[in-house]
């Protein structure tokens, strides 16, 4: 047996990639530069695709390959390219001011991770399975952490573009949870969520452009001026 065929090796690789995914999420919280944020998101999605691939490889589950390929295509390549073009078109490069300052947000993210662990712990012990079937099960806390931190980022950011990014990373968390718990939802549901998010991202992108045209700013808090 070659060493990469050993499920233990696969487990290590998945664990490692999951940790990197989490680190990238926190990097996104800490980074002010939009372009870096988008790239971090791209790498994160790429790693997710890799995790899905690994699980698919060891379990021989074909439909996860499809989900992984879709993730790679849309979230790791297409969306980042679109967002990057959007950013260069509206000529902003920096998230000026999040509501909570960076060190504190980073530390809050740390706490959210801890919370995710507490929430996931009972689920994890219940679902402990031996061998290949248990592969990737331990990424559940990471998935929940991605979700929570993504949510926090949506609350914390002012710019619509960064909110889109936060939403996307939140969805990454859902995806990870899905593959870690059930080896993927039924393909059709997966596709549904996928295109839902994609379309949402597109609409938001257009909206962002419009908001800027109208208000000369992307600050979402200014939308409150719309009410009569």
Partner 1 sequence: MIAQIISVIGQTALVLLFSPLITAFSRTIKARLQTRRGPGLFQPYRDLHKLLRKGMVIPETASWIFTATPYVLFATTLLAGLLIPTIATQAPLSLFGGVLAVVYLLALGRFFLALGGLDTGSSFGGLGSSREMTISAIAEPALMLAVFTVALGAGSTNLSSVAQAAVGQSWRFLSPSQMLAFAALFIVLIAETGRIPVDNPATHLELTMIHEAMILEYSGPCLALIEWSASMKQMVLMTLLVNVFFPYGLSADGSPLGMLISVALFVFKLLILALAVVLVETGNAKLRLFRVPELLAVAFVLSALALISTFLFGVHGG
Partner 2 sequence: MWPTRELYTSGLLVFAIGALGGVACHWWARTTSWTLRLFCGSALSGAVLVGGAGLGGLLNASELSWSLPSGIPYLNCVVRIDPLSSFFLLTLSLLAASVAVYSFGYLRHDTAAKSPALSCSLLNLLLAGLTLVFAAADVVFFLIAWEVMVAAAYFLVVTKHEAEESRKGGLLYILMSRSGTGMLFIGFLLLASAAGTTDFRAMHAIGGKLPAAAGGVAFVLLFLGFGVKAGIIPLHIWLPAAHPVAPSNISALMSGILIKTGIYGMARVFFDFYGVLPAWAGMLVLLVGVISAVLGVLYALMEHDLKRLLAYHSIENIGIILMGFGAALLFRSYGHPNLAALALIAGLFHTLNHGLFKCLLFLGAGSVLHSTHTRNMEEMGGLIRRMPATAVYFLIGAIAISGLPPLNGFVSEWLTYQALLAGFGATAELTRVAFPVAGALLALTAALAAACFVKAFGITFLALPRSQAAQAAREVSLSMRGGMAMLALACLVLGLGASWFLPVFDPVTQQAFGINATRNLATGNGFILTAGSPQGGSVSTPVLALMLVALSVIPLILWLLWGRKQKRSIGPTWDCGLPGLTADNEYTATAFSKPLRMIFGALFRPRREIQAEFEVSPYYPKAIHFESEIQPAFEKHFYDPLRDRILRMARSMRPVQAGSVHAYLAYIFLTLILLLLFGVRG
Q: Least CB distance from residue 69 to partner 2, whole Å?
A: 38
Give the footprint of partner 2 on residues 53-82 (CB under 8 A).
none
Does 144 engage in binding with partner 1 (CB under 8 A)?
A: no
Partner interacting with residue 23 (select from partner 1, partner 2, none; CB below 5-8 Å by kind): partner 1
Stretch that binds partner 1, among 55-63, 76-84, 136-144, 203-211 (CB under 8 A): 136-144
Distance, CA of 117 to CA of 141 (rounded, Å): 5
- Which positions from 181 to 200 touch partner 2 by CB under 8 A, shown as an x/- string? --------------------
Give the footprint of partner 1 on residues 35-74 (CB under 8 A).
none
Distance, CA of 121 to CA of 118 (rounded, Å): 5
Q: What is the DSSP string of 137-201?
A: GGGHHHHHHHHHHHHHHHHH--BHHHHHHHHHHHHHHHHHHHHHHHSS--HHHHHHHHHHHHHHH
Q: Are 27 and 110 in contact (CB under 8 A)?
A: no
CA angle (14, 17, 22) in 5-degree steps? 125
Binding site for partner 1 (CB under 8 A): 8-9, 11-13, 15-16, 18-20, 22-23, 26-27, 30, 102-104, 106-107, 109-110, 113-114, 117, 138, 141-142
Residue ranges in contact with partner 2 by CB under 8 A: 101, 104, 114, 118, 121
């Amino acid at each position: 047996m070659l060493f990469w065929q050993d499920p233990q090796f696969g487990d290590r690789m998945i664990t490692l990639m999951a940790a990197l995914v989490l680190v990238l999420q926190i990097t996104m919280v800490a980074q002010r530069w939009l372009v870096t944020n988008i790239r971090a998101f791209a790498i994160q999605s790429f790693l997710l695709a890799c995790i899905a691939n690994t699980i698919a490889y060891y379990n021989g589950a074909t439909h996860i390959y499809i989900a992984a390929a879709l993730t790679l295509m849309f979230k790791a390549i297409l969306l980042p390219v679109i967002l990057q073009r959007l950013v260069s078109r509206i000529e902003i490069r920096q998230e000026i001011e999040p509501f909570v300052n960076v060190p504190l947000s980073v530390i809050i993210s740390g706490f959210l991770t801890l919370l995710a662990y507490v929430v996931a712990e009972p689920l994890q012990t219940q679902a402990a399975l031996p061998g290949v079937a248990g592969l990737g099960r331990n990424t559940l806390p990471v998935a929940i952490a991605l979700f929570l931190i993504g949510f926090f980022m949506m609350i914390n950011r002012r710019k619509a573009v960064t909110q889109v990014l936060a939403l996307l990373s939140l969805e990454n968390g859902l995806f990870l949870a899905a593959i870690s718990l059930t080896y993927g939802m039924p393909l059709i549901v997966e596709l549904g969520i996928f295109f839902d998010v994609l379309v949402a991202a597109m609409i938001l992108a257009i909206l962002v452009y419009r908001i800027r045209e109208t208000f000369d700013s992307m600050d979402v808090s200014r939308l409150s001026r719309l009410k009569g």
